[in-house]
Structure 1
Amino acid sequence: MGIIVFLFIAGAYLLGSISSAVLTCRLFGIADPRHHGSGNPGATNVYRLGGRFPAIIVLIFDMLKGVIPVWGAYFAGLPPVILGAVAISACFGHMFPVFFHFEGGKGVATAFGSVLPIGLDLGGLLIATWIVVLLVTGYSSAAALITALLAPLFTWLIKPEYTLPVSMLACLIILRHHSNITRLWNQTESKILRRRNSRNK
């Protein structure tokens, strides 16, 4: 059992270390997201730099980096705490990718993908929360933070046995967004959505 757990955790980290944002930008001839835009190699920054289609590709692949190892561990019969460790390992790979000089993203899409095996109802609640907060505030970071804060509550209501691993993931996401929290507090964070009337001023 110990060897299996190690293989899943190590495999999740290595899979997470594949930076889909950097690879997609290279494929489409877009500037390196680690050094342009917000400097974050994730779907939101790729959207800013290259538009919708490359960003969708990055979003899907980043989610799969969480879905694949956690679903595999789930079907291997590993307990919820180990599933949480596998999910965190995948997110660590995304945040600190060994293949890309440890310059990674915030891990939101990977974390979301890792909780999808818990249930589509939980996934639907998280997506709805993220969209509502994004539409209200215009900030992708605020949407990610509030969704992360509510994720343990949603999990407890749906499948309480997974509350601890989801809480671990939520804490990781919030810690990774420390610079965004500072910018939101100082009102210097850039919006990904802007109201039409503000554009016409």
Structure 2
Amino acid sequence: MPLIIMGYVSGSWLGSVTVCRLTNKPDPRYSGSCNPGASNVLRLYGKHLALATLLIDALKSWPVLIIGLVLNLPPWGLGLVGVSVLLGHCYPQWNHFRGGKAVASAFGVMLLLVPGVALLCAMTWGLLAWKVRTAAVASLVSAALAPLISLWLAPDYTAVVVVFALLVLGRHAINIRRVRRGEEPRL
């Protein structure tokens, strides 16, 4: 239970808010798509701040997950800790439960627990983002493919990856509607 609470707290650290405060930029939660993620920071403030946001959001789960690995938690236990990180990112208590979409955070959790799945999803995301120039489409396709890739490379973690994917897909409901209408912002 303490690791789940620690996971939520670490997940609720929004990298974009920290990066923008340190560089005296306006809070991205009130500009652009109003999402505190790397894609919005990229559109608003450029690639350097977006990369910093991505790194924070991807790596913030590692300390608590490493503790779980040292304690030799089973895949489902590590998965619960990972889900708590994602829930903290999506629903941070100190931001009125309005957070990000968990793409970078899910990547970071998977990079530690199932690195092959994470890297294939990241390659898929990068290729699609480059080709269609829309972060939401790249995120949706990568999240949808993650459980299938997990079945192939990390079957013990497939249920965990399914939960991650469902959370990411659910957080993109508005984006799905905008993509259908052709109104989704481009990178």
- The TM-score bracket by the shorter chain reads over 0.9
Alpha-carbon RMSD across the aligned residues, in angstroms, is: 1.2
Tell me, in whole angstroms, the C-alpha distance in 2 between the residues paired with 1:68 and 1:164: 22
Alpha-carbon distance in 2 for matches of 1:146, 1:96: 23
Query: Does structure 1 residue 149 correspond to structure 2 residue 144?
Result: yes
Flag structure 1 segments of 5+ consecutive residues without an equivalent: 1-5, 193-201
CA drift at 1:127: 1.2
- Say which one has the larger Rg: 1
> Does the residue aligned with 2:32 lie in a helix, a strand or coil?
coil
Given the two structures, how large is their TM-score scaled by the length of structure 1?
0.89
Extract structure 1 runs of 4+ deviating beyond 6 A.
none
1:124 equivalenced with 2:119 (yes/no): yes
Q: Name the counterpart of 2:17.
A: 22
Amino acid at match of 1:37: G
Query: Are the counterparts in 2 of residues 118 and 159 from structure 1 also a CA contact under 8 Å?
Result: no
Matched residues in 2 for 1:151 and 1:75: separation?
25
Q: Which moved more, 1:96-105 or 1:55-64?
A: 96-105
Contact 1:152 1:167 in 2 (8 A): yes
In 2, are the aligned partners of 1:25 and 1:31 still within 8 Å (CA)? yes
Q: Which residue of 1 aligns with 2:40?
A: 45
The TM-score normalised by the length of structure 2 is 0.95
d(CA) in 1 for partners of 2:117 and 2:70? 19
Shift of 1:22: 0.9
- State how 1:28-107 maps to structure 2 within 5 Å: 28-107=23-102
CA distance in 1, matches of 2:87, 2:180: 26
Q: Percent identity?
A: 37
Work out the CA distance in 2 between the residues paired with 1:129 and 1:69.
27
Q: Which amino acid aligns with 2:112?
A: P
Alignment of 1:175-186 (within 5 A): 175-186=170-181
| Distance (Å, rounded) in 2 between the aligned partners of 1:67 and 1:114 | 7
The C-alpha deviation readout for 1:57-104, integer Å capped at 9, x for no partner, is: 110010012333233212311111122211111011111112333221
Give the total of aligned pairs. 187
Say whether 1:140 aligns with 2:135: yes
The letter of the residue matching 1:51 is: G
Q: Are 1:8 and 2:3 an aligned pair?
A: yes
Q: Which amino acid aligns with 2:83?
A: I
